[in-house]
Amino acid sequence: MRAMVLEAPRQPLREVELPDPEPGPGQVLLTVKACGVCRTDLHVADGELSKPKLPLVLGHQIVGVTRDGRRLGVPWLGWTDGECRYCQSGRENLCDRARFTGYDLDGGYAELAVADERSCLQIPDGYSDVEAAPLLCAGLIGYRSLRLTGDAERIGLYGFGSSAHIIAQVARHQGRRVFAFTRPGDADGQAFARELGAEWAGGSDERPPEELDAAIVFAPVGALVPAALAVLAKGGVVVCAGIHMSDIPSFPYELLWNERAVRSVANLTRADGEEFLALAPHVPVHAEIETFPLGDANDALEQVRSGRARGSTVLVP
C-alpha cells in the first residue's frame, strides 16, 4: 500500500510503498476513504509529542470501509486495556496503557489501515466520507471540551480552526452564545466565525463586549490561558483542548480567584464518540473542508500550521 510516513521528527513525511497491514485478533482491515489532518499530527511530526512509534503513519480521523462493506471511523483512542483503575471507572480516556492512533499505532495517511474493532465508531448516514473525517477528532474532542464547560451560556472559543468551527455549531444548537477569538487582525477568520453563529468575533488580545462563562482554548498558545481567565465571569472555567501547548505564563492569583478554574481535556472515551456522532446529524454539523490528495500530506500539514485553513483539512487517498 501507499503511505505517507514519518521516519524521524522534524522531517517531511515520505511517500513510500509498505506491505499491506494484516489485521490481528480483534482488528479490522480498512480501506481508507478519507483521513482528517489534526494539529496533533503537527505536534507529533514536530517532535513536541516525543514518543511516537517510528517509522509512523500519522492520522487519527480515519473513515474507512471493511471488507464486508461497513463504514467505520477510527479516532485517536486506538486501544485501551479495559482493566486499569481509569478504564474501570468510566475514564478510559485516561487509561494507563492506552495506545493512540497515528502515534503508538499506524494511522490513516495511507491506502489501508488496521484498527481495534472495539475502538471504531459508526459513521452516521448522510455524511460523506470526507465530511465525516473531521468529526472524529476535531468534533469529538471539541464536544468533550464543550461538555466540560457545564451549562455555561456565554462560551469563548480561542483559535477558530477545525474544532472550533464544528463546536460553535453545536454550542448554538444547545442555545449557548458563542464568542470567537482569532489571531489579532485575522478579519477572514472573524468573518468565518460570525457566519457560523458567533455573535462576536475579535482578536485574542481584545475583550469581548461582556464577561464569558467559559472559554475553550484550541490554539496551542499558553499565553491564552491567563488572557481567557481575564475575560471570565466569576465561577467560569477555561478548558484547554489541545494535547500540547507552549508554557503558560505566570499570572496574578486574582485572575483565578472567585472560583474560576483551568482544566485540560485528554483524549476521548468511546461513549463520547457515540454520543457526539449521534448528535451531529441533528445540529446538523456541517464541517467546511479543504481536501488534499494523500501524496500532498506535507502541504496539508503546512496548511494547518499556517492557520490559513478555513475549517478542516482532509486527505483523500
Residues that bind Zn ion (CB under 5 A): 38, 40, 80-81, 84, 87, 95, 137
Query: Least Å distance between CB 86 and Zn ion?
Result: 5
Sign of the CA dihedral 48, 73, 127, 270?
Answer: negative
- Total residue length of the chain: 317
* Residue 99, helix vs strand vs coil: strand
Query: Least Å distance between CB 238 and Zn ion?
Result: 20
What are the DSSP E strand ranges found in 121-192?
121-122, 154-158, 177-182
In the bound state with Zn ion, the residue whose beta carbon lies nearer, of 231 and 285, is 285
Query: Least Å distance between CB 257 and Zn ion?
Result: 33
In the bound state with Zn ion, the residue whose beta carbon lies nearer, of 77 and 155, is 77
* Burial (CB count <10 Å: 0-12, 13-18, 19+), residue 25: exposed
C-alpha cell at 210: 461582556
Distance in angstroms (rounded) separating the CA atoms of residues 306 and 233: 32
Distance in angstroms (rounded) separating the CA atoms of residues 266 and 244: 10
In the bound state with Zn ion, the residue whose beta carbon lies nearer, of 107 and 124, is 107
Query: Least Å distance between CB 95 and Zn ion?
Result: 3
In the bound state with Zn ion, the residue whose beta carbon lies nearer, of 40 and 182, is 40
Query: Least Å distance between CB 62 and Zn ion?
Result: 11
In the bound state with Zn ion, the residue whose beta carbon lies nearer, of 40 and 190, is 40
